[in-house]
A = this chain, B = another copy of it.
Amino acid sequence: MFARHGVYGVTMREIAELADVDTALLHYYFESKRGVFDAVFARRADVLNSERMREMERYETENNGRYELEPVIAAFLRPVFSLNRQGGQGWRNFFGFVGNLTSASELAELSAQKFDPVVKRFIAMLRKALPDADESDLLWSYHMFCGSLAIVSMDTGAIELLSDGLCRSRDSDQIEPRLVKYSAEGFRAVCARRQARRNTRK
């Protein structure tokens, strides 16, 4: 519900009704509306964070010191799409919810804080895959990448409307490889100005 209507667009009554409990019970367990919100967020965010850390560690142990852009991005994205595919509606909602967080500025801080260590690590890997990149080029690229990831996670029906049903926002298999390609070449175009665009491996 937070994913679809934003934090202010949902009431405790609606939450209670959907959960088939009383509003008083929500306050008993979560204290306040913000408490519900934080709990919803934290539970899955922690899982996502550890999955991402695991994927990035795995990449590093398997590719001793060699960093290539596409697989680095793929490692960061894999948990998202894997959970989208196998995690059911709950996880799909969560990613929409996270995509939404960028909107309400007071909550953007919360998510930034929660994801900070993972993001920092991801950016460090990007930096190694793009060693000549200017720092602000790299960060702007990451920012644009986040926007793409957010919008494909959101499931607002925009792509269905635009494509007249040809594309579907639930279709992780269609989205994941396109997002990797799109982003990787985007990063290269912005960050790799001073090096050959084709052959990045030395």
What residues make up the interface of A, taking CB atoms closer than 8 Å to B? 4-9, 99-100, 102-106, 108-109, 112, 119, 135-137, 139-152, 154, 156-159, 161-163, 166-167, 174-175, 178-179, 181-190, 198
Contact = CB atoms under 8 A, between A and B. Distances in A.
A166 B143 CA distance: 13
A184 B189 contact: yes
Given A6-B8, A162-B119, A102 B151 contact: yes
B159 A139 contact: yes
Contact of A104 (B5, B174, B179, B184): B5
Q: How many copies does the complex hold?
A: 2
Contact of A8 (B9, B150, B178, B189): B9
A178 B142 CA distance: 11
Contacts of A103: 6, 99-100, 103, 154, 156
Contact of A112 (B100, B140, B162, B182): B162
Tell which of A150, A163, A186 has the most Cβ of chain B within 10 Å. Answer: A186
A140 to B, nearest CB: 5
